[in-house]
C-alpha cells in the first residue's frame, strides 16, 4: 500500500513484515509491534509499497499462503524479533520460509529489528524456548492421538520442522549474522532512508519471462566455433572456487561461545567456556592474555603471538569446557585486571576481563 494516485518508488516490489503483534499476556509484550506502526506511517509518507498480513489477508485466505509468500516472493523483509515472536507458531514458520528462500535467493534483503530484553546469546534463555516448544509438541501429540481435530497447515509445518526445536538452536547464529536496529534506540528516519536508497539504487530483479526471452534470443543466434580458451578460464574458476570454499570452511566459526570466565579447579586457575556446537569434535583455540598495562603475556612455551594454544573437545549441543594452563601464565603476576582474548585460527571470537585479587603462586 502507498499513496493513492502516485506510483510507489518500489512498485511491484513490496516490503514484507514478519512480526508478532502487541499482546497483554505479558507486560513486555504490550508494545512489541509499535515500531511496525511507526515504520508503516513513514512508508506511507514516502510512498513505499508494503505487504502486511493483518491488512492484506481477507476472510477465507490461508495464513500459510502468506507465510510461504513472505519467504519465497519477497525481495525485502522487515523482521521484528521479540520474545513473543519466538513463541509464535506462525512467526517461526515465516522465519523458516525466509531461511529456506535464502538458499535460492542469497541477496534477499533482511532488515532485523530487536524489540525487548531477550538475549539469544544466553544459554538459559534458549533452553527456556526449547522447553516451551517441547511442551507445544506434547500438546499437539496429545491432540493428534485423540483425533480431536485435524492439524492446520501451519501446525503440520511445525510437526515437520520438529516443532522448531532445531531452529531455536540456530537463532543466535541467524540473528548475529545481520546488522540490526534496536527498537528502543533506533532512528526510524535513517531506517526508512536506507530502504529508499536500496530501491532507488537497486534495479528490479530479472523476471522469469525476461529470462525466457533471453534464452530464445540466444538460441536464434548463429552457432559460433568453440573457443578453447573458454575451457581454460572455466577450469581456473573451478580451482579458485574450490580453494576459496576450502578456506571459508577452515576459517568460519563452527561453534558459538556463549560465556567465558576464570575459575579455580583442583587448585589451579582454568579458563571456563560455555558453548554451543553443532557437532562433536576437537577444536584448536588460541588465547591471548594481557596484563593490566595492556602488554601481551608471553610464557616460555607460548606460541608465536599468543599466550596459549589448546585443543578443546567440544560435545554436540550446549556444553562447558575448561582450558588449563592459565595458572602458569598468571603465576607470580601482580593483582589487577587481566584481559583474555579467544581466537579460532586468526579470528577473535570472544574476550573476557578477569580481576586477579592476588598473585598466583605466592
Beta bridge partners of 80: 113
C-alpha dihedral sign at 31, 32, 37, 38 = positive
CB atoms within 10 A of CB 277: 20
User: Alpha carbon of 238 to those of 231, 233, 288: distances in Å?
Assistant: 11, 9, 38
User: CA-to-CA distance for 97 and 99, rounded, in angstroms?
Assistant: 5
User: CA-to-CA distance for 306 and 341, rounded, in angstroms?
Assistant: 10
Q: What is the pLDDT of residues 327-336, one digit of tens each?
A: 778 877 888 8
Question: Cell 510507489 identifies what position?
Answer: 8
pLDDT tens-place values along the chain, 362 residues long: 555 568 899 998 999 999 998 988 888 898 988 999 999 999 999 999 998 875 554 444 456 667 778 888 889 999 999 999 999 888 888 888 888 888 888 888 999 999 988 888 888 888 888 888 888 877 776 655 555 555 566 666 666 556 666 677 777 777 777 888 888 887 899 999 999 999 999 887 664 444 545 555 555 555 555 566 677 777 777 766 655 555 444 445 677 777 777 777 666 778 888 877 777 878 788 888 888 888 888 877 778 888 888 888 888 878 888 888 887 788 778 888 888 888 887 778 777 787 877 655 44
User: CA-to-CA distance for 67 and 162, rounded, in angstroms?
Assistant: 18
Domain 15-201, architecture per CATH: 3-Layer(aba) Sandwich (3.40)
CB atoms within 10 A of CB 118: 20
Nearest to 195 by CA among 72, 45, 6: 45
Q: The pTM is what?
A: 0.53
Report the top-level CATH class of 256-356.
mainly beta
Cα radius of gyration (the chain): 26
Answer for the pair 214, 28: CB distance below 8 angstroms, yes or no.
no
**What letters, b where the CB count within 10 A reaches 16 and e where it falls short, cover 96-115?**
bbbeebeeebeeebbbbbbb
User: Domain segments of the chain: what residues?
Assistant: 15-201, 256-356
Read off φ and ψ for residue 231, nearest 5 degrees.
-65, -35
Amino acid at each position: 500500500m502507498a499513496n493513492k494516485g502516485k506510483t510507489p518508488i518500489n512498485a511491484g516490489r513490496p516490503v514484507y513484515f514478519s512480526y508478532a503483534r502487541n499482546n497483554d499476556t505479558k507486560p513486555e509484550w504490550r508494545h512489541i509491534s509499535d515500531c511496525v506502526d511507526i515504520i508503516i506511517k513513514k512508508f506511507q509518507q514516502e510512498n513505499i509499497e508494503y505487504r502486511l498480513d493483518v491488512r492484506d489477508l481477507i476472510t477465507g485466505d490461508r495464513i500459510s499462503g502468506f507465510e510461504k509468500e513472505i519467504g519465497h516472493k519477497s525481495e525485502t523483509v522487515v523482521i521484528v524479533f521479540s520474545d513473543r515472536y519466538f513463541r509464535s507458531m506462525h512467526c517461526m514458520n515465516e522465519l523458516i520460509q525466509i531461511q529456506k528462500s535464502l538458499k535460492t535467493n542469497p541477496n534477499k534483503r533482511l532488515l532485523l529489528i530487536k524489540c525487548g530484553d531477550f538475549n539469544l546469546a544466553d544459554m538459559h534463555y534458549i533452553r527456556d524456548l526449547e522447553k516451551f516448544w517441547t511442551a507445544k509438541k506434547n500438546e499437539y501429540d496429545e491432540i493428534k492421538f485423540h483425533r480431536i481435530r485435524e492439524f492446520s497447515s501451519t501446525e503440520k509445518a511445525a510437526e515437520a520442522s520438529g516443532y522448531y526445536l532445531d531452529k531455536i538452536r540456530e537463532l543466535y547464529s541467524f540473528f548475529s549474522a545481520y546488522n540490526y536496529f534496536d527498537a528502543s534506540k533506533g532512528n526510524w528516519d535513517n531506517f526508512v532512508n536506507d530502504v529508499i536508497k536500496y530501491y532507488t539504487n537497486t534495479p528490479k530483479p530479472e523476471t522469469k519471462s525476461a529470462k525466457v526471452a533471453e534464452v530464445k534470443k540466444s538460441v536464434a543466434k548463429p552457432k559460433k566455433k568453440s573457443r578453447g580458451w573458454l575451457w581454460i578460464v572455466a577450469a581456473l574458476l573451478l580451482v579458485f572456487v574450490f580453494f576459496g570454499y576450502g578456506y571459508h570452511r577452515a576459517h568460519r566459526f563452527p561453534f558459538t561461545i556463549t560465556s567465558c570466565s576464570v575459575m579455580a579447579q583442583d587448585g589451579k586457575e582454568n579458563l571456563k567456556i560455555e558453548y554451543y556446537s553443532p557437532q562433536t569434535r576437537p577444536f584448536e583455540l588460541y588465547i591471548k592474555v594481557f596484563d593490566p598495562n595492556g602488554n601481551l603475556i608471553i610464557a616460555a612455551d607460548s606460541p608465536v603471538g599468543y599466550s596459549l594454544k589448546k585443543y578443546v573437545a567440544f560435545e554436540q549441543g550446549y556444553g562447558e569446557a575448561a582450558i588449563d594452563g592459565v595458572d602458569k601464565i598468571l603465576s607470580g603476576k601482580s593483582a589487577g585486571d587481566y584481559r583474555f582474548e579467544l581466537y579460532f585460527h586468526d579470528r577473535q571470537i570472544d574476550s573476557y576481563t578477569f580481576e586477579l585479587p592476588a598473585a598466583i603462586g605466592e
